[in-house]
Structure 1
Amino acid sequence: MSALPAPGPTIVRRPTAEGGGDWPPGILPVLRRIYASRGVHGLEQARPRLAGLPSPDTLAGIQQATELLSDAIATGRPIQVVGDFDCDGATACAVAIRGLRMLGATHLWHAVPNRITHGYGLSPSLVDTLAQTGCATPSGLARLLVTVDHGIACHAGIAAAKARGWSVLVTDHHLPGKSLPPADVIVNPNQRDDAFPAKSLAGVGVIFYVLLGLRRHLRALGRLPDPEPDLASLLDLVAVGTVADLVPLDGHNRALVSAGLRRLRAGHGVPGLQALIDVAGRDRSRLGASDIGFAIAPRINAAGRLEDMALGIECLLCDEPGRARELAAVLDGINAERRGVQQGMVEEAEALAERCSRGLSGSLPSALCLFDADWHPGVVGLVASRLKEAMHRPVVAFAPSEPGSDQLRGSARSIPGFHIRDALAAVDAAEPGMIGKFGGHAMAAGLSLPREALPAFEAALVAHAESVIDPGLLQMELLSDGPLEACELDRRHAEALRDGGPWGQGFPEPLFDGVFEVLAWRPVGTRHLRLDLDSGAGRIAGIHFGGWNGTPPAPRIRIAYRLQPDDYRGGDAVQLVVVHREDAF
């Protein structure tokens, strides 16, 4: 068994990178250095533009997809967009409905599975439910289903839809399994032998590309509405779904997110997103990717976790500001309930992990599997994420698929260097038939499992993790961009760092470290710590969220921190947001 991680993370400085390249004078030297450490050497790479995105024509399946959609629009065939119950799936559904409507579709519906009733994605039970709903048109044509942010693993559901005579277009970004489902067309940049360069698109990015291809196809046919639809108006939704799904913010995704943030900051977002920004108390003019990740996306996600994502999609599709505010307020309330449920489950999971470590003489396995019969299946992903951060090892959290069920839903989160979806594939190969179904990415995945199979699954996953994980990966590291000089701890640098992104997965927000004298301190609430620090050129404020444990800080501390404008105090005020602190001697 691998040892427990050392108490707290280790601060490790990134290798020094030359800050050269083609930069205008306004880009500060520290920002050039940070860009260089992330492999960016010029303004075009640092701030990619939409014009630099690859053509939709290079995406495998795009021609067949656009022909299928254009024929459906021309003949009045009913099109039903099937979403998913996370933020990426919800925004992808909204983008599909809004975009197809802009491009001339009139017989258009959407649906989303209920987590408890239908399970994940386009399942046979969801197909049965859809068959009992509308979609009747004067043409009498069989419907066309368009999946967004799922479908690549929905073999049974797609077969059920095909058996009813429906057509199915899959748009997805998850990694495919050994075989592809029997859809009419599949658009997924992660299919084998697909040369499309933007492999990190979220589900909302994939459907946006399908719409771009459809617009080009309709233009060639002379069938575009007049005036030509501006699909860039959908980029606010694309940005939210992309950030929420934690896909790497490579150049392609940064171009999409940057354009969407510009729309949101200018007040041009859809009414539902504007209402969510307001109810979260965020400043629209300074909105960043972190505001999406920590304020907007959780409120959309909460609907799918505890209630029905149809409510979140309704908010994103709503065009009446008053109604959008009402929906946003409901989502805010559900999110508050979700936080309470999550906190209780996290505390229980931490207690389980502690008991596990005591039972193993102070050691933990390289991967953790946790289950409680009273947990909510919609929140296990958040529990797995929190435990992964605390324990710095892969975590799979399970809950009954519904109260009293013997079928479990699991959500997995991983650490860099351990591909969790491939790990599930390895377990599935070693124990055929044990896992009901699974899918996901390198860092996050989901699965279903019979309850009686949980011990065997845990043993197989731990054995696989022990065989491939270097023990050094289990020590959490905070990658620092080094120290900032005292003269750089000012508003100019803070704003340049804030606006130099969007920062996020795969393009991390700048983090610095240094040693400071503590001039004064005080607790804030029950968990946080306010600090006054000696910067070397005067006093500077610091805040350590979650940093108050009842013990006064040492007179001299080393901290990992982010430099941010202090908008609460205003003016030239800045503060250091402390991520980690340790005594300095």
Structure 2
Amino acid sequence: MTRIQTREVSQRTVSALADAGIHPLLARLYAGRGIRNKGELDTSLRAMLPPDALTGTREAAQLLADAIEAGARMVIVADYDCDGATACAVGVRALRAFGADVHYLVPDRVTLGYGLTPAMVEIAARLEPDVLITVDNGIASVEGVAAARAHGMATVITDHHLPGETLPEADVIVNPNQPGCDFPSKALAGVGVMFYTMLALRAELRERGAFQGSKEPNLADLLDLVALGTVADVVKLDHNNRILVSQGLQRMRAGRMQPGVRALFAIASRDPSRASAFDMGFALGPRLNAAGRLSDMSLGIECLITDDPGRAMNMAQELDRLNRERRSIEAGMQEEALLRLEGFDAGNNASIALFEPDWHQGVVGIVAGRIKERLHRPTIAFARSSDGELKGSGRSIPGLHLRDALDLVTKREPDLIVRFGGHAMAAGLTINESALDRFRDVFEEVVSGLVDPADLQRRIETDGALESGYMSLESARMLDQEIWGQGFPAPVFDDVFRVERQRLLKDKHLKLELSRGGTRYDAIQFNHADGAPGDIRAAFKLAINEYNGVSSVQLMLEHFEAA
């Protein structure tokens, strides 16, 4: 069952924001998302947290500047998702602009798995690097860093994942979540951490006079990549992350972006002059992720680092093809999962753990997310790996920190999980196939003990009713230009409507004509085939429908119930 819940808002804060010149509708929305003053809405670069506030950036800058001066070879070890790809691209582009000899590697998801493993170090050793730099991984790579040190390589870890009990003995670690780091923005994505590291390196090189007689590289030109990776990784959009995303979107809208980013916009049929966070999360990000899920993320990284528009377009077309293949595989896996769950009463379970022998490792995370959305339970989907192991990808619900839950599983049953890592809302793990049933039982026991029963009921938090004067194209366009995402959710409104007409589109989307106060509105609920009663209370987003060159307001229904 889904419950519509109106977000609490301080009218005093709304008035203060409006008095400061904020549009009244935005003032109400911002207040509901914790904004207290106009300064928290400053998305200029001058409002960004300084690089030297992030522990390790100064030391990393000195090590990398020494390496550049010595002509040392650097190798970046990336991750195979969009955050890892954009972080790698930021590193490659910045370091090459600084005159570094830099190469990159990205592990194969199936054969090598995640992070700087000893096997990955052996592959990197073939390039004879002096310095290994990780992006979006490495904080848990204790054995990998030890292997790199045995090869005589210096190691710089740039990561944002939560650390385990033991840190790797790297030369430098840059991670806002490492012990002792007081950086206020703990939500930096991997690409944000790498961008900050490159800002610190540029400052170090500037102090050494490296740019005398030459133009200093403008790292702000990389903010399109930072915005893309930040949104796609679904990290919390705190003030600092909103600055990074806003600055990136401003550059995209002005036509200033990498050829690969421009090609991804084109192949996704999205207009960069109207770029939004939605484009990053649902159009560009999935196409990059498809390479890491089904093929080799080197394709995505090459797309982002090439300066040749034609080559970028060719690679974007291949990424689009892989994304279509990914969607086809995902649809089949999701159908299998739902068949398995037919008749399943989620009310009796606090968690779900699924496995099918023919599931694809690269897509289980998406399937877990789809099932989690449908049943509102922490969900882990497993695929068969090699050597009798299963690799799982989990998605959680508000109220359960998934990585902490897996950590508690290991404390209760130390031999149950081979390895794990992740965040509050998403995590990955490996178990022995023979331990699946035991894992299900222990995971269910742990989740049941951690979640409040109320957290297992899906809630749609709304911003209340939307006044008739704001049910307009002007308002929809204004909302489209704002930065919404994880921790700073897009506006959802709710109200009571009369259903005047309804019909099914393609046998799965409910198209409606609604009325309220004598005004009629077009509305649609995707992937919902059940008809609506005569009067409904609906939770909806204000959207723009464009058809035959004509724009009109459309309500995108999230949920409805009988009024």
| TM-score normalised by length of structure 2 | 0.96
Q: Distance in 2 between matches of 1:325 and 1:209?
A: 29
Q: What does 1:457-476 correspond to in 2, within 5 Å?
A: 457-476=439-458
Aligned to 1:65: 60
The answer to whether 1:74 aligns with 2:56 is: no
% identity of equivalent residues: 48
| CA contact 1:246–1:504 (8 Å) conserved in 2 | yes
From 86, 102, 125, the counterpart of 2:81: 86
Q: Kindly provide the CA deviation profile for residues 508-535 of structure 1, in whole angstroms up to 9, marking residues without a partner as x.
A: 0000011111222222222112222213
Q: How does 1:345-364 map to 2 (within 5 A)?
A: 345-354=333-342, 357=345, 363-364=347-348
Q: Does 1:14 align with 2:2?
A: no
Residue 539 of structure 2 is aligned with which of 540, 556, 560? 560
Residues 76-128 of structure 1, C-alpha deviation per residue, up to 9 Å, x if partnerless?
100001100000000000000001111221x1100100011211111111122
Match of 1:326 among 304, 314, 324: 314
Q: Unaligned stretches of 5+ in structure 2?
A: none
Q: Which piece of structure 1 moves more, 255-264 or 41-50?
A: 41-50
Is the CA contact (8 Å cut-off) linking 1:533 and 1:541 kept in structure 2? yes
8 Å CA contact 2:18, 2:24 repeated in 1: no
Task: Determine if contact 1:487/1:537 at 8 Å carries over to the other structure.
Answer: no
Mean Cα deviation higher: 344-353 or 367-376 = 344-353
The one of 471, 476, 481 equivalent to 1:494 is 476
Counterpart residue identity of residue 384, structure 2: P
Shift of 1:165: 1.0
CA RMSD for the aligned pairs?
A: 1.6
2:285 aligned counterpart, secondary structure: helix
Q: 1:365 matched to which residue of 2?
A: 349
Would the alpha carbon gap of residues 77 and 377 (structure 1) be closer, same or farther in structure 2, given more than 3 Å must change? same
Query: Among 44, 47, 53, which residue is 1:52 paired with?
Result: 47
Residue type of the alignment partner of 1:156: E
CA distance in structure 1 between the partners assigned to 2:248 and 2:19 by the alignment: 24
State whether structure 2 residue 479 is matched by structure 1 residue 519.
no
Residues 1:506 and 2:487 aligned together: yes
Q: Is the 8 A contact 2:496 2:516 kept in 1?
A: no
Aligned partners of 1:24, 1:575: CA distance in 2, in Å?
30
Equivalent residue for 1:138?
none
Runs of 5+ unmatched residues, structure 1: 1-5, 136-141
What is residue 557 of structure 2 aligned with on the other side? 578
Corresponding residue to 2:427 among 445, 458, 464 = 445
Matched, 1:236 2:252: no
Q: Distance in 2 between matches of 1:327 and 1:43?
A: 42
What corresponds to 1:395 in structure 2? 379
**Following the alignment from structure 2 to structure 1, what is the Cα–Cα distance between the partners of residues 96 and 551?**
47
For residues 274-298 of structure 1, the C-alpha deviation after alignment (integer angstroms, 9 at most, x for no partner) is 1111111112121110111111100
TM-score of the two chains, using structure 1 as the length reference: 0.93
2:294 maps to 1:306: yes
- Mapped to 2, the partners of 1:58 and 1:127 lie a distance apart of 30
Query: What CA distance in whole angstroms lies between the structure 2 residues aligned with 1:16 and 1:254?
Result: 21
Cα distance in 1 between the residues matched to 2:7 and 2:196: 35
Tell me, in whole angstroms, the C-alpha distance in 2 between the residues paired with 1:70 and 1:433: 43
Q: 1:538 to 1:570 in 2, by over 3 A?
A: farther
Aligned equivalents of 1:24, 1:262: Cα separation in 2? 26
- CA drift at 1:217: 0.9
- Displacement of 1:25 after TM fit? 7.7
Q: Provide the rounded CA distance (Å) in 1 between the counterparts of 2:292 and 2:355.
A: 21
Contact kept, 8 Å, 1:23 with 1:42, in 2: the verdict is no
Are 1:236 and 1:264, in contact at CA under 8 Å, matched by a contact in 2?
yes
Deviations 1:47-90 (A, max 9, x none): 43221112111211122111110011000100001100000000
State the 1:259 CA deviation: 0.4
Contact conserved, 1:47 with 1:254, CA < 8 A, in 2?
Answer: no
> Would the aligned equivalents of 2:514 and 2:522 in 1 still touch at CA under 8 Å?
yes
Code of the aligned partner of 1:568: Y
> Larger relative CO (CA 8 A, sep 6+): 1 or 2?
1
Cross-structure match for 2:111: 117
Deviates more, 1:69-78 or 1:525-534: 525-534
Which amino acid is 1:188 matched to?
N
Q: Which amino acid aligns with 1:382?
A: I
Residues 1:236 and 1:188: Cα distance change in structure 2 (over 3 Å): same
Shift of 1:17: 2.4
Q: Residues 24 and 317 from structure 1, CA distance in 2 versus in 1: closer, same or farther, beyond 3 angstroms?
A: farther
Query: What is the deviation of 1:22?
Result: 4.5
Deviations 1:401-450 (A, max 9, x none): 25xx4111111111111111111111111111321111111111111111
Give, in whole Å, the separation in 2 of the partners of 1:103 and 1:494: 43
Alignment of 1:175 with 2:168, yes or no, is: no
1:215 aligns with 2:197: no
Q: CA deviation at 1:335?
A: 0.3
User: Does structure 1 residue 383 correspond to structure 2 residue 364?
Assistant: no
Q: What do the CA deviations read for 1:428-475 (whole angstroms, capped 9, x no partner)?
A: 111113211111111111111111122222221111111121111000
Q: Tell me, what secondary structure is at the counterpart of 1:354?
A: coil
Equivalent residues of 1:490, 1:572 under 8 A apart? no
Distance apart, 1:229 and its partner CA: 1.0
Q: Which of 111, 130, 151 lines up with 1:164 in the alignment?
A: 151
What letter is aligned with 2:165?
K
Q: 1:23 to 1:231 in 2, by over 3 A?
A: farther
Determine the C-alpha separation between the residues in 2 that align with 1:28 and 1:64.
44
Do 1:299 and 1:331's aligned partners in 2 also have CA atoms closer than 8 Å?
A: yes
Q: By how many angstroms is 1:26 displaced?
A: 6.2
Which residue of structure 1 lines up, in the alignment, with residue 277 of structure 2? 289
Q: Indicate the SS of the match to 2:358.
A: coil
